[in-house]
Amino acid sequence: MRVAFQGQDGAYSQQAVFDFYPEAEAVACPAFDAVFDAVALGDCQAAMIPIENSLAGSIHQNYDLLLRHNLFIVGEHFLRVRHCLIGLPGVKKSEIERAVSHPQALDQCDEYLRRHGIRREVGLDTAGSVALIKERGERPVAAIASRRAAEIYRMNVIEEGIEDDPQNYTRFLAISPTAVEAEGETKTSIVFTLPNRAGTLYEAIGVFGRRNLDLTKIESRPLAGTPWDYFFYLDFIGDPRAARVNEALNELATLAPMLRVLGSYARFQ
């Protein structure tokens, strides 16, 4: 089984692939668009995409790509993100002047970097930043990435656990061309639009509240071409095969000009 991820060897997304699909071949893609295309075109059977981080928030591009492609969410995985300061072999922390990494990784280590007087340099991704500083050979420059990335590129872990908050988790979604029938406690993800009038969002949320369905996430994204109108992405605990969930979705459909179920899948435990 081939599973796409954004980044290169040593990326946190690659670790999420191995955690969720232990026997899979992880296929590196340069950008999130390419990840979705790899699955949509059949080059890969699935993909793992980050959708939100407990510190940095949502990855909005992937919400937009979920809407653009006819793919299904088939699972979720929470990955504990433990950042390392990584440099050339033999380099000490006192030598480091700049740190390069993905913008979210830099944000998650912002207090640490300021405390040590290390300037930020934005890179494309975490593992790619390790490869970059190895290629450059600059001793005063470090990368922020995983220990696994340091091992792959044979670089030096100067310090581990430099994230500002140890409760640093990224939620990943597994996506596939085919939906699954979840077993056990089920989470469902939907996207919908609403008429731009007072009270419609309140009415939409009430559809779930009246049936005691637990909402775990709500996110709004601009609706292209119609300023100040939005798509609403919503996750809740429940399976559409259950009567009360089916009733809630049917009632929401009477309010929403567009409603799409992105997937129902086993809730990560």
What is the set of active-site residues? 170, 172
Place of tokens 């690659």: 14
**Up-side HSE of residue 50: CA atoms within 13 Å toward CB?**
24
Please state, as a whole number, how many other Cβ atoms lie within 10 Å of the Cβ of residue 25.
12
- Spell out a b/e string for 191-220, using b for 16 or more CB atoms within 10 Å of the CB, else e: bbbbeeeeeeeeebeebbeebebeeeeebe
Q: What torsion, rounded to 10 degrees, do the Cα atoms 86, 112, 100, 85 define?
A: 10
Contact yes or no for 109/162 (Cβ under 8 A): yes
DSSP one-letter code for 173: E
Q: CA 156, CA 106: separation in Å to the nearest integer? A: 19
In angstroms, the Cα distances linking 255 to 33, 83, 202, 249 are 31, 44, 11, 10
Sort strands 84-87 and 25-29 into parallel, antiparallel or unpaired: unpaired
**SS3 of 115, please?**
helix
In 167-211 the beta strands, taken as DSSP E runs, fall at 169-176, 186-193
Contact yes or no for 194/255 (Cβ under 8 A): yes
